[in-house]
Amino acid sequence: MIIIAGRIFIDPSKREALVKASQPLQQATRDNEPGCEAYVFSADPCEPGTISVYELWTDAPSLAAHFLHENYFNMRTLFGEHGISGAETFKYRVDAKATVYNADRIATVDF
């Protein structure tokens, strides 16, 4: 699994419009790109000029295909049209997966 997580920075007065405009591309990526488990660009509730990014991909080939897909290019164009002022996104390769809560319903850091 690969996780992409980060933040996009934008004038707070433009954030709502960008999130709304991006919804069809978020849905298209989820629906039409194999290997996409999650694709979320949402308003950060604590930072008015920030959009939080969360993507989950099953593997590197799926993510590589996304970077060549029209949805990816259209999302980048949309960001430019709405005047984002910057971004910081990172990719993480996941080597282990486990539930947060154990059988006793206690949150643990164990895998």
Q: Per the domain annotation, does 39 fall within a domain? A: yes
In the chain, how many domains are there? 1
Q: How far apart are CA 26 and CA 22, in angstroms?
A: 6
Whose tokens are 């290997």? That residue is 35
Q: Per the domain annotation, does 99 fall within a domain? A: no
CATH of the domain at 87: 3.30.70.100
The string of pLDDT tens digits covering residues 44-84 is 999 999 999 999 999 999 999 999 999 999 999 999 999 99
Q: Per the domain annotation, does 26 fall within a domain? A: yes
Q: What range does the domain containing 59 cover?
A: 2-93
pLDDT exceeding 90 applies to what percent of the chain? Answer: 100
Q: pTM of the prediction?
A: 0.91
Q: Per the domain annotation, does 103 fall within a domain? A: no
Q: How far apart are CA 23 and CA 25, in angstroms?
A: 5
